[in-house]
Amino acid sequence: MTPKEKTIVKSLVAVAWADGTVKEPERGMIEGLLWAFGASDEDEQEILEYAKKKRTLADDVPVDELEKADRELLLAHAALLTHADGKQTKGEEKVLAKLTEMLGFEKAQAKPIIEGARDRAKKLAEKI
């Protein structure tokens, strides 16, 4: 797992806390990303421990450390994460809008990224 990938996953933890709790579907998605990024046992343990404490976008998303491609990846995964439990809450919608702004995307730039992730989330939910 690269340092950028670790930053992205830690940032996603803040998104997972959007509705005040990290539920099982969100935890499962974070664990899946750890696997996909090839996290070592130590990295996995560190991030899962990190996820136990409430995180916020303002305090826990180091935007200045992310390049444009990393920001797009973060936004896409964040959009997926907000649909992890099958529905996007108003709080999750607001967090996603705030993240979009923080990452420096115009609404028109973010729209295809978010819609693509939402469509993938729906397809995945249909398979489960």
Tokens for 98?
């705030």
Report the length, in residues, of the chain. Answer: 128
> What number is the average pLDDT over the span 41-45?
97
Query: For residue 24, what pLDDT is reported?
Result: 86
Q: In angstroms, rounded to a whole number, what is the distance separating the alpha carbons of residues 11 and 128? A: 26
What residues does each domain of the chain span? 3-127
Question: What is the sign of the dihedral through the CA atoms of 13, 19, 22 and 24?
Answer: negative
pLDDT band for position 127 (cuts 50, 70, 90): low
Q: In angstroms, rounded to a whole number, what is the distance separating the alpha carbons of residues 124 and 21? A: 22
The neighbour count for residue 98, using CB atoms within 10 Å, is 16
CATH number of 3-127: 1.10.3680
- The pTM (predicted TM-score) of the whole model is 0.88
Structure confidence by residue, pLDDT tens digits, 3-21: 999 999 999 999 998 878 8
